[in-house]
Structures are given as C-alpha cells and as structure tokens.
Structure 1
Amino acid sequence: MIKVLFVCLGNICRSPMAEAVFRNKVEKAGLANQIEVDSAGTGAWHIGEPPHEGTRNKLQELGLSFQGMKGRQITHEDLEQFDYIIGMDESNIANINKLAKQAPKAKIRRLMSYINDDPGKDVPDPYFTGNFDEVYEMIDKGTDQLLEEICKDNHIEF
C-alpha cells in the first residue's frame, strides 16, 4: 500500500481539500486498494475539528466527500509510515523537516513542485485569503501530476 499524506498549517482548509480531491482521483482510477490518502496539520489548533466551512462548501459543490475528516497534527510516526508527504507551502515543508529525527522514509515535497509552470509557488491559505476556488484549482492541477508520479515511481498502470 502506497501512503500519501497532505499537510498544511491547521488541517482544516488546504490539506483536507487535497485529501478529498486526491482520494476521489485515486478511486476513479481504480487504485483505492493500492493508494491510501490522509491529511494533517503542522499546528495543533484544530485537532478534532471538521474541515473549514469554505473547504466543506467547495467539496460539496464538487460532489466530493469529507465524511469523517477531523483535524490532526503530523507526528514523527507519519514520517516513517507515509511514502509521500506533500506540504502546501514552504513553511509546512520546513516544519515537516524539523520533525525528522533521521532521514525519513517519506518523499517530502511541496504540492506546487509538481506543476512545471510555477514550481516555486505556494498554495495560499484560504483561512486568511478566503479564496477556496483558487486553492481548489491549484490542488486539482497538482494532484493530477502527483498521481502520475506515484504511478510511474511504483510501476502502476491506470
């Protein structure tokens, strides 16, 4: 089983949106028995809370489930249990790397690094910007490329 973890600051806006979008793509590709998807935050402010209302509204508009999603904080164990840990911005990546006691098992990358036209860009936090549509567009594009890379890296055809 290939395990993918999306990470943002509080695990209520960007990373749960990425989890839902990516899980849907994995299911549509018939790969749910090969790829597991989760999300977490680098901070502890929203542990146990459902996704932000703006994320829920966007996911409902798209017909994507966020059932059972609750905010949680990334742990040292996640660095060993997940194969891919995908941060939404450079600050998330720095915080993820601080958790590493040794070289982690996971491939740690920023989501936008999968987008060739703007690999240095961060996914902005809609908790502050309110722009959940922009965030969805970036996540949708980035997760397409992420799925392609995972399949290529692991010799999976879909």
Structure 2
Amino acid sequence: MTTLYSILFVCMGNICRSPTAHGVFRHKVMRQSMADRVAIDSAGTHNYHPGSAPDARSQAHAAKRGYDLSDLRARQIRQSDFERFDLILVMDWDNLADVKEICPPPHLPKIRRLTEFCQRSDSPVVPDPYYGGPQGFDQVLDLVEDACDGLILHVQTV
C-alpha cells in the first residue's frame, strides 16, 4: 500500500512561478502514474491575487511545452498548510524567509527551495519573471522542469 505524499509550491503571488511548478509537477506525476500517491498544490506568501488564474504569460509559455495551468487559482499560504503538506517548496530567498517566519517550529524541516532538486542547473532560486520579458518565463520553465525531474526521483524514495 502506498501512502499519499503532499507537496506545496510557494512563490510571492501564486500567479507565475508556483503555479508553473504545480502544473509541471502534476504533469510529470501523471506521466509516471503516481497521481494516486502524490497531492500537489500551490500558494503565495502574499494575498495579492486571491482566486486569480495564473498570469497569462505563464500559461502561454507553459502551454507551448504541453502544460495546462488554466484550472489553477491563486491563494495565500495558510497555517493549516504546515501541518497538511510533507514538503513546502519555495522559489527564492524572500519566499524562504517569509514562509519560515510564519511556520510553526516543528514544521520548519519541511521547507526547502525547489532548486535543491535540480539535476542540471546550479541556480539557487527560480527568479521572478513578472516584470521581465518572455525569456524570464522560459527560464522559469527550464528550472522548474529540471527541479521537477529531481523531485519525481525524491518522491519515488519516500
């Protein structure tokens, strides 16, 4: 019998990086026939866009690579998330600091940077593409795809 392993992806507004990671990882989990043992969600450290779909640019760039983000909706991280999720993956140093600041001490070991799972890239963070050009969204996807490949391997060992 397999147990459910739950992962929460977190960025600042939950409209670019974390929904991209959510959608990419969901796609990879489904392709690996692991959907019955992995729960996935995403959230933001700030409540800037509650209920909003991912940024249109994030959706367009993801769609070019075969990922559908259209059903995802932004929300802010909640205290209950620290209990609910086995792994909370943040996109950058600010997200890391913000999440650790509100996390109950027993759950701090659950918080990690998504890029810790990268197998090819050595980038310490997934940079925020919001104020940049199209290349930023491609860079996010490159890093997220790499990290999600490593994350699949991690989940297969837990």
CA drift of 1:111 comes to 1.0
More displaced 10-residue stretch of structure 1: 119-128 or 39-48: 119-128
Identity within the alignment, %:
36
| Distance in structure 2 (CA, Å) of the matches to 1:116 and 1:151 | 16
Whether 1:76 aligns to 2:68 is no
SS across alignment from 2:130: helix
Whether 1:149 aligns to 2:150 is no
Q: How does 1:96-115 map to 2 (within 5 A)?
A: 96-104=99-107, 107-115=110-118
Q: TM-score, normalised by structure 2?
A: 0.90
Whether 1:135 aligns to 2:140 is yes
SS across alignment from 1:129: coil
Residue 58 of structure 1, aligned match among 55, 58, 61: 61
Q: Structure 1 residues 56, 120: CA separation in 2 closer, same or farther (over 3 Å shift)? A: closer
Q: Structure 1 residues 97, 62: CA separation in 2 closer, same or farther (over 3 Å shift)? A: same
Whether 1:5 aligns to 2:8 is yes
2:153 maps to a residue whose letter is E
| Distance in structure 1 (CA, Å) of the matches to 2:56 and 2:117 | 27
1:72 maps to a residue whose letter is R
Residue 29 of structure 2, aligned match among 26, 30, 54: 26
Q: Structure 1 residues 28, 141: CA separation in 2 closer, same or farther (over 3 Å shift)? A: same
SS across alignment from 2:71: coil
SS across alignment from 1:7: strand
CA drift of 1:67 comes to 3.3
SS across alignment from 1:23: helix
SS across alignment from 1:142: helix
SS across alignment from 2:75: coil
Q: Tell me if structure 2 keeps the 8 A contact 1:10–1:41.
A: yes
Q: Which runs of 5+ in 1 are unaligned?
A: none
CA drift of 1:51 comes to 0.2
1:62 maps to a residue whose letter is R
Q: Which runs of 5+ in 2 are unaligned?
A: none
| Distance in structure 1 (CA, Å) of the matches to 2:39 and 2:122 | 25
| Distance in structure 1 (CA, Å) of the matches to 2:56 and 2:14 | 13
Q: How does 1:39-50 map to 2 (within 5 A)?
A: 39-50=42-53
CA drift of 1:106 comes to 6.2
| Pairwise CA RMSD | 1.6
